[in-house]
Amino acid sequence: MFVLVNLKTYPCDAVAVAEAARDVDASTDARVAVAPQAAQLERVAETGVETWAQHVDPIEHGSNTGHTLAEAVADAGAVGTLINHSERRLKLADVDGAVEAAQRTGLETVVCANNPAQIGAAAALGPDAVAVEPPELIGTGTPVSQADPDIVEGAVDAAANVDSDVSVLCGAGISTGEDVVAASDLGAEGVLLASGVAKADDPKAALEDLVEPL
Ligand SMILES: O=C[C@H](O)COP(=O)(O)O
């Protein structure tokens, strides 16, 4: 299972979480990665943890003030990027352009979407993976795998119908190893989570708990 920890803009110690994730990754068969804010990519990557960007824009080098260039996040040490996170929505044409920009620089891509119909559209753009996240469950601590298992199974089917090479992650409310196992049982190949680790009193213990049953 892929455990992708998005630090959003939570006031956590990104380097400490990254070091914990690096150590937990080394102790399990699970793949653990961290997505810090763009300004923290380099410091996080220096810990040796698999580092992801939270977003890239559909742009090239040029006059794009305030945008995030795929080449810049790759230079900072990111190996992958989220695109179209629920908190950073893009128009469909811009999702397509962002996937293209990421692929141009060799970044792995996870395109986020709200529901199975959108997952099908996202999968058609040719990312490495898609992540289904019902927005109403994000940050609630109520795991999507329990609250809305149909949406996870529907997303797995929708992606497979479009492109069986696109793997499916699920996210929203995932915070325990039991939630990760439930996601796996529903056909997800990974989980995208944030608050369960970034807001934990002990992020390393939270990470250990997530991968313990795997
Ligand atoms: O990127 C992560 C997702 O939005 C899930 O967030 P959460 O784990 O805090 O519910």
- Give the distance (Å) from ligand 1 centre to CA of residue 63: 32
Q: Given the residues 85, 87, 189, 208, select the one marked as catalytic.
A: 85
Structural domains of the chain sorted by starting position, each given as residue range(s) with its CATH number in brackets: 2-211 (3.20.20.70)
State the Cα–Cα distance between residues 153 and 175, nearest whole angstrom.
19
The pair of three-digit structure tokens given for residue 149, joined into one six-digit string:
């298992």
Ligand 1 pocket, residue 109 CB under 6 Å: no
192 CA distance to ligand 1 centroid (A)? 6
Name 3's Cβ contacts closer than 8 Å, sequence gap at least 6.
30, 31, 32, 33, 180, 190, 191, 193, 207, 210, 211
Q: Is 172 annotated as a binding residue?
A: no
- Determine if residue 138 is labeled as part of a ligand binding site: yes
In the residue annotation, 133 being an active-site residue is answered as: yes
Q: How far is the CA of 52 from the centre of ligand 1 (A)?
A: 15
Tens digit of pLDDT per residue, the chain (214 long)?
999 999 999 999 999 999 999 999 999 999 999 999 999 999 999 999 999 999 999 999 999 999 999 999 999 999 999 999 999 999 999 999 999 999 999 999 999 999 999 999 999 999 999 999 999 999 999 999 889 999 999 999 999 999 999 999 999 999 999 999 999 999 999 999 999 999 999 999 999 999 999 9
What's residue 187's pLDDT? 97
CB 190 less than 6 A from any atom of ligand 1: no
Ligand 1 atom closest to the Cα of residue 8 is 1
Q: Is the CB of 170 under 6 A from ligand 1?
A: no
Does 20 show up as a binding residue in the annotation? no
| Ligand 1 atom at minimal distance to the Cα of residue 87 | 4
Closest C-alpha to 147, from 111, 165, 172: 172
Per-residue confidence (pLDDT) for residue 144, from 0 to 100: 93
Nearest residue (by CA) to ligand 1, atom 2, is 193
208 is catalytic: no
Question: Can you spell out the DSSP letters for the chain?
Answer: -EEEEE-TT-SS-HHHHHHHHHHHHHTSSSEEEEE--GGGHHHHHTTTSEEEES---S--SSS-TT---HHHHHHTT--EEEES-TTS---HHHHHHHHHHHHHTT-EEEEEESSHHHHHHHHTT--SEEEE--GGGTTSS--HHHH-HHHHHHHHHHHHHH-TTSEEEEESS--SHHHHHHHHHTT-SEEEE-HHHHT-SSHHHHHHHHHTT-
Q: How far is the CA of 195 from the centre of ligand 1 (A)?
A: 6
**pTM for the model:** 0.98
Ligand 1 within 6 A of CB of 196: yes
